[in-house]
């Protein structure tokens, strides 16, 4: 009954939303400008067993409504302030089952030259690593979820030091989603500073954040991790033509939370146990076809299990059948280094298929099927079906 009421309320809000549209206002001379965008989004997921990845609920069917409100304030060509808030049932579906209101992004951007060559940004914002984050929003993503390296949980604890025995038991237990980490936690809205820009065919970006790429959303706010153990990330991109784009990314920083400190070996601290991530990405676009992908390798330094390595990749393609319809597919895999003669986590493969329909330029329907298989079996479900609805106002 509660799920039915949530669906009805979300559809009602989505239907009424265009009546409240307020897009952009400006001063008489155009120097001061303000733009507003709202989005109502909803997803329904059905899983055959315990859901894999960054899906926290334990039910076989789950409804995730979302209200997004974004505001941009601009002063000339040099200054931009951005705030984006969300209400849903948690940043990851089910994390806050009774509802959660958050400020996911808030930053101030300065363009000292008044163009794209140099931009300086401070606040809470998505990471510059890789090429998936730039299309992670509902209306930009051909799928309903993130690729494998951005949302699959690994048997790695950030609340305490990972031990060999705990890691070895990975094959027999479900994901411990309150303690484990992915390689990169979705778009990673940590807090910090960034310098980025475009010089001809070259893109560059460098950021200093208060939390690692693997860190959970609870660590992203500035009052959680401060900057005692910062993470540095960067990306260098090359666009030789309108068809091709390439990039190299890197990141390094402490992934352990403060509560892990008491259990670390004497004389060591969180600064001794780092996450190092390297990535290469590519994109090809021609007419109605687009193919993109990333190869990401990560190493986690641990006090009792040594260095734990994971190699991930995914390739996704989208075909725009016509301006209103697309079909997409994505394939990804993960491979792990050995510990005590076997891989420290289950190797995995994931195949995903999605269809999107733009009813109007501001109303989008999406459907997705995902198949995830982990070596050695395990307690996770393999099949997931999702339906999504979004409207912009």
Say if residues 206 and 188 touch (Cβ distance below 8 Å). no
Q: Where are the alpha helices (DSSP H) in 121-279?
A: 148-151, 164-168, 222-225
Assess contact for 283 and 292: CB atoms under 8 A.
yes
- With H, G, I as helix, E, B as strand and everything else as coil, classify residue 18: helix
d(CA 353, CA 147): 12
33 sits in the region (left: phi over 0; alpha: psi -120 to 50; else beta) called beta
Round to whole Å and give the CA distance between 153 and 331: 17
DSSP annotation of 5 reads H
Task: Encode the chain (393 residues) as per-residue pLDDT tens digits.
Answer: 444 444 444 444 444 444 444 589 999 999 999 999 999 999 999 988 766 677 777 778 889 999 999 999 999 999 999 999 999 998 887 778 888 999 999 999 999 999 999 999 999 999 999 999 999 999 999 999 999 999 998 988 888 877 777 777 765 666 777 778 999 999 999 999 999 999 999 999 999 999 999 999 999 998 887 888 999 999 999 999 999 999 999 999 999 998 888 989 988 999 999 999 999 999 999 999 999 999 999 999 998 888 999 999 999 999 999 999 999 999 999 999 988 788 888 899 999 999 999 999 999 999 999 999 988 766 677 899 999 999 999
Task: Answer whether 8's CB lies under 8 Å from 64's CB.
Answer: no
Quick one: which of 392, 366, 385 has its CA closest to 141?
A: 366
> What SS3 class is residue 186?
coil
User: Using alpha carbons only, what angle is made at residue 178 by residues 168 and 193, rounded to the nearest 5 degrees?
Assistant: 110
Instruction: Give how far Cα 254 sits from Cα of 74, 158, 211, Å.
Output: 35, 10, 7
Residue 320, SS3?
Answer: strand
Grouping H, G, I as helix, E, B as strand and the rest as coil, residue 121 is strand
Question: 291 pairs with which residues across the strands?
Answer: 284, 317
Q: Of the candidates 302, 301, 281, 303, which has an alpha carbon nearest to the alpha carbon of residue 292? A: 281
């Amino acid at each position: 009954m509660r799920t039915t009421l949530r669906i009805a309320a979300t559809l009602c809000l989505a239907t009424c939303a265009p009546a409240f549209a307020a897009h952009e206002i400006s001063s008489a001379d155009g120097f001061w400008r303000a733009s507003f965008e709202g989005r109502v989004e909803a997803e329904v997921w059905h899983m055959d067993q315990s859901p894999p990845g960054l899906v926290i609920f334990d039910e076989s069917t789950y409804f995730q409504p979302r209200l997004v409100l974004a505001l941009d304030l601009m002063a000339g060509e040099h200054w931009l302030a951005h705030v984006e808030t969300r209400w849903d049932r948690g940043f990851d579906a089910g994390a806050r089952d009774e509802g959660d209101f958050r400020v996911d992004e808030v930053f101030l951007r300065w363009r000292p030259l008044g163009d794209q060559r140099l931009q300086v940004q401070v606040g809470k914002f998505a990471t510059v690593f890789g090429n998936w984050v730039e299309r992670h929003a509902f209306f930009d993503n051909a799928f309903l979820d993130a690729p494998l390296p951005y949302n699959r949980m690994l048997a790695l604890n950030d609340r305490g030091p990972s031990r060999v025995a705990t890691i070895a038991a990975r094959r027999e237990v479900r994901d411990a989603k309150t303690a484990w980490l992915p390689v990169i936690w979705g778009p990673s809205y940590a807090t910090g500073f960034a310098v980025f820009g475009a010089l001809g065919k070259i893109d560059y970006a460098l950021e200093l954040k208060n939390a690692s790429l693997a860190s959970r959303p609870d660590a992203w706010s500035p009052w959680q991790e401060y900057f005692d153990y910062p993470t540095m990330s960067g990306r260098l991109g090359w666009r030789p033509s309108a068809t091709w784009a390439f990039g190299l990314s890197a990141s390094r920083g402490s992934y352990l939370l403060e509560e892990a400190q008491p259990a670390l070996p004497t004389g060591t601290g969180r600064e001794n146990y780092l996450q190092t991530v390297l990535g290469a990405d590519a994109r090809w676009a021609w007419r109605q076809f687009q193919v993109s992908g990333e190869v990401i390798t990560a190493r986690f330094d641990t006090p009792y299990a040594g260095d734990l390595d994971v190699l991930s990749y995914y390739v996704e393609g989208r075909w725009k059948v016509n301006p209103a319809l697309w079909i997409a597919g994505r394939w990804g895999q993960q491979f792990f280094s050995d510990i005590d003669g076997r891989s420290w986590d289950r190797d995995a493969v994931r195949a995903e298929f999605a269809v999107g329909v733009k009813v109007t330029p501001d109303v989008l329907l999406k459907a997705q099927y995902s198949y995830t298989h982990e070596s050695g079996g395990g307690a996770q479900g393999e099949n997931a079906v999702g339906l999504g609805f979004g409207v912009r106002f």
